[in-house]
Structures are given as structure tokens and as C-alpha cells.
Structure 1
């Protein structure tokens, strides 16, 4: 009888351990918080919507979608997983109003978790929207400004030109050459005349005495 009672107690405790341990074994990842918070109102939607879980999630099978009130999807790129958080970036023209975030993540044990939450943006904003570069139009220039710029500009310096040589004027070098030629010609003429002069002239007194003595 005692052995039977002890066996029943042991069986009961084992069954209790199995029953109490079953929820822990079947427990999966749980969403703890979101940014923006569910049901909150923010000034503008942040560039990154994040979800925080009690355990890290797997990239495989994880999706996060952000919709505006008219069901326009504004999320961009794949989810960004850091430790226990999963985030998604938003882009484009983001109006004021209610936003819905739909998520599906994969727990570390491979079990999928899905759900959704909502928040409201009080004002519109935009992220990653390219704007046209401003076009520069030249301002009209008045005639007074043109005259002022022309007067301020330095006038070109005159190019020096050689003075024209007056017609009929003999240069100094040519004059010197002419004088040299005349001197040479005069010397030659004098030399020729001296050669033609006779050696004994009648006018010269005879040598050795005075006439009439």
C-alpha cells in the first residue's frame, strides 16, 4: 500500500512538471514595444519605424510594411535587425494622418510572429525626395551699368610705331660714306698731279751760283 501511494505521488509530480513546463517550451518571441508607440500621436513620422522584441529575430521571413491612411506603402529597403530590434526606413512624401504598421517576423526557433499597430502623425514631412536645383537667371544690365563697366575697363595702350623717314633726307651713315669717298677721290687726284709735275722747272734757280755773276 505504501509503495502504491509513493508511486502515485511520483507520477503526479511528473505530470505536473510536464504540464508546467509545456508553456515554457512552447513560448515564442514577444513584441515588447514600438517606436512610435501603438496608438500614439507624433509630430511627424520618424525616418525609421522600429519594433523591439524580447529575443532577437531572424532575417529570413521578416517583413515590415508601413501604410498611410489611403493604404499607400511608404517603407523602403529590407528590415534592419540590431540585437532585439527590427526597423524599417520610410521615404517619399509623408502626409499627416494615421499610419498602419504590419509586421511578420521569425523567432529564433523558426516560429513566425505577425501583427500590426497604428500611430498618427500630426504634420506632413518628406524623406529622400529630390528637389530641382534653383535656376539662375541673369539680371538685365542697364545702359548706365554698361557705360560704367566700359569706363572702368583699362584702355589698351597704343602700340609704338616707327617715325616715318622724310623723303629726300639723307641719313647720317650715308653722309659719312659720301664724305669718305670724296676724301679718297681727292687724295687720288692730288697724287696723280704730283706725279705729273716736271723735275726741272724753268722757274727754279740754277744750282751753284747767282745769275749774272
Structure 2
């Protein structure tokens, strides 16, 4: 009887010892976003928390969104039992699947996945259109700018060059006429007049 009881105790003890390593394997105990969570806006990152420290060399996290597009970016960061990865900006509305493959400190690999959803776009990423009031104000400012710029352009514009062939040009705009023949005749008259005066003076001097 005592031997049977001892054998039973040993068997239970061995079973517990064999189960201890399995129970000690790392597993996911918390996540942000949580599994099945419906978010108003896409998260800036995903955080996974395990019950044991994770090996930094063997940690991979993916965030797959609508159209099987990958939204995780950058390196997967490991800090003890916490594993994080960033999510790209502009993630659309829809369902996302977080997939992870990590290795615990004791070398045991852990893989898994879960879903979360996004119901609306972040205001920062959503396309914006000007309100009617803002559009009207912008149009008024543009008109005011155009109206004020016109006089400046007119006042600073250079006057057109005078064209002597233009019959519409006013007398004030016309260039002075050059009469070469008149100038030559006046010069000849002056020379003749001076010669006559010189001749009269010479005759008077001779008589004296």
C-alpha cells in the first residue's frame, strides 16, 4: 500500500515537473489596440505585452489593412516583455490584422494574430475643402489685390517711344524739324552781309 501511494506521488510529481516548462512559455497577455477593438481613428502604433522578456533578434510584427496593404513601418522595438511597431500615417477606414512572431528569452517561438477596426479618418489625414465663407473671403482679397495692383502697373509703365511716322502724334510729341537748306541760306546771307560791310569800310578808308 505504501509503495503504491509512493508511486502515485512520484507520478504526479513527474507530471507536474514536465508541465512546468510548458506553462512557463511566453504568451501574449495584453495589446494596444486590443483584439476586436473598434477605433475611431487609426493608431500611431501597435504595442504587444508578453508574460516574459522577448528576444530582440527574433521579433516581427505586421499590421495589414484593407487591400492586404502593409501599414507597419520601421523596425520592431523590444523592451523586455513589450514589443512595439509604428503605423504609417493615412491608414484608411476598415479592418486591420496584427500578426506577430516573437521568441521568448528561453528560445520558445510564439506566433499569433488578432483584428481591430478603424471607423473614420483622422482629421489630419482627411482631405479638407474651404468653407463658403473662407472661399468668399479669398475671392474678395484676390479682387482687392487685383484692383490695387492695376494703378501701380499703369503709373510705373514706360511711355511709348515717339514714332515720327505716326500722324496721330501731337506737336508736343514730334521731334523738332531739321531744315538744312534754310540753315545754309542764312549762313550765306550772313557771309555776304559781312563782306559788304567790309568793302564799304575799305572804300571810305581809301578816300580819306
Which TM-score tier does this pair reach, normalised by the shorter chain? 0.5 to 0.7
Q: Which of 148, 151, 154 matches 1:144?
A: 151
Instruction: Please identify, of 32-41 and 6-15, the stretch whose mean Cα deviation from structure 2 is larger.
Output: 6-15
Matched, 1:38 2:35: yes
Instruction: Please identify, of 118-127 and 99-108, the stretch whose mean Cα deviation from structure 2 is larger.
Output: 118-127
Any unmatched runs of 5+ in structure 2? 126-144, 157-208
Question: Take 1:86 and 1:148, find their aligned partners in 2: how far apart are those partners?
Answer: 69
Determine if contact 2:65/2:97 at 8 Å carries over to the other structure. Answer: yes
Structure 2 equivalent of residue 106 of structure 1: 103
Matched, 1:7 2:6: no
Q: 1:127 to 1:146 in 2, by over 3 A?
A: closer
How far apart are residue 109 of structure 1 and its match?
A: 0.9
Q: 1:127 to 1:18 in 2, by over 3 A?
A: farther
Structure 1 equivalent of residue 87 of structure 2: 90
Q: TM-score, normalised by structure 1?
A: 0.57
Structure 2 equivalent of residue 71 of structure 1: 68
List per-residue Cα deviations over 1:44-76 (Å, max 9, x = no partner): 121111111111111222110000121000111
Determine if contact 2:73/2:87 at 8 Å carries over to the other structure. Answer: yes
Q: 1:46 to 1:127 in 2, by over 3 A?
A: farther
SS in 2 for 1:57: coil
Higher alpha-carbon Rg: 1
Determine if contact 2:66/2:92 at 8 Å carries over to the other structure. Answer: no
How far apart are residue 7 of structure 1 and its match?
A: 3.0
Structure 2 equivalent of residue 59 of structure 1: 56
Q: TM-score, normalised by structure 2?
A: 0.58
Structure 2 equivalent of residue 115 of structure 1: 112
Any unmatched runs of 5+ in structure 1? 129-138, 150-213
Q: As a proportion of its length, which structure holds more helix?
A: 2
Matched, 1:18 2:25: no
